[in-house]
């Protein structure tokens, strides 16, 4: 009597392959042939640990500055592309990183888009500025500046030195969701609609306008000056209480609701004292680190990366990381943690991971 049970795999491997080939042109795929790759027991990212030296990127940007103006380029940026994600303009699976330069007298014209952006200023002299929604702010080295989505922004440089900053955007995430819209401003540079410093005074002095209600989710502050953040860390260190994995690590907040400054990108500033060795840490949010002060090295998985100010390195999701600062070090970092938290996906683990 013929059995109704499927034939054991040893007998029908060729038949199965033929079946997969037959359904392929009909745009079907057998789940059981790919299930282990789809629903993995742990994150299985193509993102790789990597480090870019600021000096090398700056040399290339100097060359780019002779090839194209900021105005013609719209944004003269070199994208930092993860070696595991080539061709995808991604530093992690969900996030983008680029280094932008604006030369003295140049203008990066006004536009807006549904992608949210952060700027972390790597090297600036007086005169470098960005303008968000009609408010101009000077960019100083170490400042953290945000461009909430769908806000017009233009950049410029009235000084006599080039300015360099890191752009962190949620470009891959927005692309994944097919939610990209963009448009040019009606003028190359926005008019100044509000006085410089207005946002920081209004929302960043432990007060809020009495009837203020949080709006889009992004912080109403768009420049978090390094001088303030750095001073806060310096005062806090006097307690001499250090998290074994993080040293002293603070997150940039939206003062109106206590949430992250940008809804899709979490940002932090971290102080690690000289000689501190962090305990092994990992989390599901692949993270981009930018040392601001100090030198040291970090181990990501099995690889060591030596870093100094303005270098940039990336740690993939769930890769174990250890920091060893040789000097007092300050690290800026960003990741998609707010997105993962909102979706109940974010996880962390402290201590040496189990092997395998």
**Residues within the interface to ligand GTQ (CB under 6 A):** 75, 77, 98, 100, 113, 117, 153, 167, 169
Q: What is the nearest approach in angstroms of ligand GTQ to the Cβ of residue 98?
A: 4
Q: How far apart are CA 133 and CA 171, in angstroms?
A: 20
Nearer to ligand GTQ, 100 or 137 (CB): 100
Nearer to ligand GTQ, 58 or 153 (CB): 153
Q: What is the nearest approach in angstroms of ligand GTQ to the Cβ of residue 231?
A: 28
CA nearest to 272, candidates 202, 331, 318, 338? 331
Nearer to ligand GTQ, 146 or 169 (CB): 169
Nearer to ligand GTQ, 219 or 283 (CB): 219
Q: What is the nearest approach in angstroms of ligand GTQ to the Cβ of residue 237?
A: 33
CA nearest to 100, candidates 116, 78, 82? 78
Nearer to ligand GTQ, 119 or 299 (CB): 119
Q: What is the nearest approach in angstroms of ligand GTQ to the Cβ of residue 12?
A: 52
Q: What is the nearest approach in angstroms of ligand GTQ to the Cβ of residue 168?
A: 8
Q: How far apart are CA 120 and CA 252, in angstroms?
A: 12
Nearer to ligand GTQ, 155 or 323 (CB): 155
Q: What is the nearest approach in angstroms of ligand GTQ to the Cβ of residue 54?
A: 16
Tell me the residue number closest to ligand GTQ, measured at CB: 167
DSSP string, 161-230: S-EEEEEEE-HHHHHHTT---EEE-SSSS----B-TTHHHHHHSSS---TT----SSS-S--EE-HHHHH
**Sole residue written with tokens 């100083």:** 140
Phi, psi of 156 (to 5 degrees): -160, 175
Nearer to ligand GTQ, 77 or 146 (CB): 77
CA nearest to 280, candidates 250, 263, 301, 306? 301
Q: Are 144 and 196 within 8 A, CB to CB?
A: no
Tell me which DSSP letter residue 81 carries. Answer: -
Look at residue 37 and give its three-state secondary structure: helix
Burial-class residue 215 by CB neighbours within 10 Å (0-12, 13-18, 19+): exposed
Q: What is the nearest approach in angstroms of ligand GTQ to the Cβ of residue 42?
A: 31
């Amino acid at each position: 009597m013929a059995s109704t049970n499927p034939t054991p795999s040893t007998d029908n491997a060729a038949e199965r392959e033929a079946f997969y080939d037959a359904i392929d042109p009909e745009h079907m795929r057998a789940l059981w042939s790919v299930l282990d790759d789809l629903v993995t027991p742990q994150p299985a990212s193509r993102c790789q640990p990597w480090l870019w030296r600021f000096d090398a990127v700056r040399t290339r940007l100097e060359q780019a500055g002779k090839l194209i103006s900021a105005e013609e380029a719209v944004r003269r940026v070199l994208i930092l592309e993860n070696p595991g994600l080539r061709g995808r303009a991604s530093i992690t699976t969900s996030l983008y990183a680029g280094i932008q330069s604006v030369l003295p007298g140049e203008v990066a014209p006004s536009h807006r888009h549904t992608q949210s952006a952060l700027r972390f200023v790597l090297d600036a002299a007086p005169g470098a500025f960005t303008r968000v929604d009609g408010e101009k702010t000077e960019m100083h080295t170490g400042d953290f500046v945000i461009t909430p989505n769908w806000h017009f922004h233009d950049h410029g440089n009235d000084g006599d030195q080039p300015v360099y900053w890191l752009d962190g955007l949620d470009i891959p995430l927005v692309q994944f969701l097919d939610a990209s819209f963009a448009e040019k401003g009606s003028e190359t540079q926005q008019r100044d609609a509000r006085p410089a410093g207005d946002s920081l005074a209004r929302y960043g002095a432990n007060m809020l306008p009495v009837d203020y209600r949080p709006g889009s989710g992004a912080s109403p502050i768009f420049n978090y000056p390094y001088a303030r953040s750095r001073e806060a860390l310096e005062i806090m260190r006097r307690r001499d209480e250090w998290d074994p994995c993080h040293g002293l690590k603070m997150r940039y907040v939206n003062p109106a609701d206590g949430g992250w400054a940008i809804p899709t990108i979490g940002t932090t500033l971290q102080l690690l004292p000289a000689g501190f060795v962090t305990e092994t840490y990992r989390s599901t949010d692949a993270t981009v680190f930018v040392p601001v002060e100090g030198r040291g090295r970090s181990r990501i998985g099995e690889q060591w990366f030596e870093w100094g100010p303005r270098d940039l390195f990336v740690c993939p999701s769930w890769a174990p990381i250890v920091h060893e600062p040789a000097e007092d070090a300050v690290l800026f970092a960003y990741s998609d943690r707010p997105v993962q938290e909102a979706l109940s996906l974010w996880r962390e683990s402290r201590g040496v991971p189990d092997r395998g």
